[in-house]
């Protein structure tokens, strides 16, 4: 949980000061100052995060939970302090934070562990996770592939049925849409807090209530919310959640699986090997409590320490202020992009709250060509289906261009995007 020092909007001066902390933002691309509008894919890192990881590697680098020497002790302490920092950030206990390599890894860990329970692993405690014929897993049509394919695979392995909540022509769904599909057969409800394509913010409270009404587990994809808005998983009453470090000023190779402690301790492990066991014989093994039971092998120690530094940076700015800044940019993007001839913005209208991103289609021009045209002018955006092919198919599109904001995004960067886009169709001869 974050305590806000101020709820006042970020000022232009504060944003300039923030940008000075990010070495990558001061460079030129193709002779233009970089306008980085792709933080929804990977955020840039401040010097304090780079320095934290470098300091550890230069001074305290050692294996954690293994040696009895000084460096091993320092590394272990820093590693577990990082877990505490992450736990505080999302309203959890340290025992509820499992290190993964990214959010995709966390979702696969969860789905595969439930598959193990379905095979009888984990004993009586794990039976609550076992799935079979007649059981249902419910997702939405808007999911990132990382929150779709693992559930497809779990359904295929167990005989359960995968169902999905459809979206409307804007790519959004409501709690009423979910209520029409959730039933006593629903065992898992998995959905994104914020869509990485439309920026739509899901009605978490209503969805959790529906799941609770039928005893289903709730799995939240928080990849596009944890970096951008205050979160408290305990207060949200979700059972599991995932997010990635590289989207929130941290390094690649580190992610988080949150799970309620009693559920993690009942869930059979996914990966096995060193560090996650208590006793091993030639016939069997006993596993440690969570979170260590899911952390086999050498851990991403420097990455976890850097992620903790990133969280401290975000907390220093204030998550509510970051959210306000990004939502203001999103409202402007939707309103002004929609006014450009031939541009279709997908997702909620400008007067409906969305997270700080906007995906759009330029009539007659493929998204890859749009992205290359902008890149020549130093404007970095994301192009493609954004790992959400079913959603794009529902919207009648194969790909979109996405501009995504973060705490360091300026109005000037948005100006450059809005000034360049009207030229695209003429350049490609389709105006």
Determine the distance from the C-alpha atom of residue 181 to the mean position of all C-alpha atoms in its chain, rounded to a whole number: 25
Active site residue 223: no
3-class DSSP state of 424: helix
Q: What angle do CA 99, 386, 151 make, to 5 degrees?
A: 55
Task: Tell which residue, 211, 171, 164, 213, has the closest CA to residue 195.
Answer: 171
Task: Tell which residue, 368, 331, 366, has the closest CA to residue 349.
Answer: 331
Check if the beta carbon of residue 61 is closer than 8 Å to that of residue 71: yes
Check if the beta carbon of residue 192 is closer than 8 Å to that of residue 221: yes
d(CA 237, CA 209): 9
Check if the beta carbon of residue 380 is closer than 8 Å to that of residue 395: no
3-class DSSP state of 339: coil
d(CA 185, CA 161): 10
For 145, 256, 292, 309, 337, the CA distances from 92, given in Å and listed in that order, are 26, 12, 16, 18, 39
Facing residues of 191 across strands?
220
Contacts for 313 with CB less than 8 Å, ≥ 6 apart: 21, 46, 48, 49, 249
- The kind and range of the H/E element at 374 are helix 367-376
Burial of 27 (0-12, 13-18, 19+ CB in 10 A): exposed
Catalytic residue chosen out of the listed positions 387, 390, 422, 428: 387
* Range list of β-strands (E), 24-70: 28-29, 32-33, 35-36
To which residue do tokens 């059979």 refer? 268
Contacts for 28 with CB less than 8 Å, ≥ 6 apart: 34, 378
Query: For the chain, what's the residue count?
Result: 431
Task: Tell which residue, 218, 214, 216, 210, has the closest CA to residue 190.
Answer: 218
* Range list of β-strands (E), 157-304: 161-165, 186-192, 217-221, 240-244, 255-259, 277-280, 285-287
Q: What is the DSSP letter of 132?
A: -
List residues with catalytic annotation: 387
């Amino acid at each position: 949980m974050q305590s806000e020092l101020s709820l006042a909007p970020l000022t232009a001066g504060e944003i300039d000061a923030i940008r000075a902390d990010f070495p990558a933002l001061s460079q030129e691309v193709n002779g233009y100052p970089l306008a980085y509008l792709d933080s929804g894919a990977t955020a840039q890192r401040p010097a304090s995060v780079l320095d934290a990881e470098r300091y550890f590697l230069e001074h305290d680098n050692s294996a954690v939970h293994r040696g009895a020497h000084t460096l091993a002790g320092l590394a272990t302490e820093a590693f577990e302090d990082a877990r505490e920092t992450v736990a505080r950030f999302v309203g959890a206990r340290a025992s509820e934070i499992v290190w993964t390599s990214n959010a995709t890894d966390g979702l696969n860990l969860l789905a595969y562990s439930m598959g193990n329970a379905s095979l009888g692993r984990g004993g009586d405690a794990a039976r609550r996770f076992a799935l079979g014929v007649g059981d249902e897993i419910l997702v939405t049509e808007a999911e990132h592939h990382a929150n779709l394919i693992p559930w497809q695979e779990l359904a295929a392995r167990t005989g359960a049925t995968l169902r999905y909540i459809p979206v409307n022509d804007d790519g959004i769904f409501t709690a009423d849409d979910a209520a029409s599909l959730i039933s006593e057969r629903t065992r898992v409800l998995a959905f994104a807090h914020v869509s990485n394509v439309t920026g739509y913010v899901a009605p978490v409270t209503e969805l959790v209530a529906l799941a609770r009404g039928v005893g289903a587990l709730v799995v939240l994809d928080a990849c596009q919310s944890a970096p951008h808005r205050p979160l408290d998983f305990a207060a949200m009453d979700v059972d599991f959640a995932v997010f990635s470090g590289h989207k929130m000023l941290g390094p690649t190779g580190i992610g988080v699986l949150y799970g309620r402690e009693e559920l993690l301790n009942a869930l059979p492990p996914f990966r096995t090997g060193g560090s996650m066991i208590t006793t091993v014989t030639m016939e069997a093994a006993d596993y440690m409590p969570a979170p260590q039971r899911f952390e086999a092998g050498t851990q991403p120690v420097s990455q976890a320490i850097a992620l903790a530094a990133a969280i401290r940076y975000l907390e220093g700015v204030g998550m509510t202020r970051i959210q306000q800044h990004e939502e203001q940019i999103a409202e402007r993007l939707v309103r002004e992009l929609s006014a450009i001839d031939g541009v279709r913005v997908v997702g909620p209208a400008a007067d409906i709250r969305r997270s700080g991103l906007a995906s759009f289609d330029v009539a007659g021009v493929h998204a890859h060509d749009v992205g290359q045209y902008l890149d020549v002018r130093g404007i970095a955006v994301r192009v493609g289906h954004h790992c959400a092919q079913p959603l794009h198919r529902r919207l009648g599109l194969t790909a979109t261009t996405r501009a995504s904001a973060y705490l360091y995004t300026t109005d000037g960067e948005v100006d450059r995007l809005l000034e360049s886009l009207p030229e695209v169709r003429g350049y490609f001869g389709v105006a």
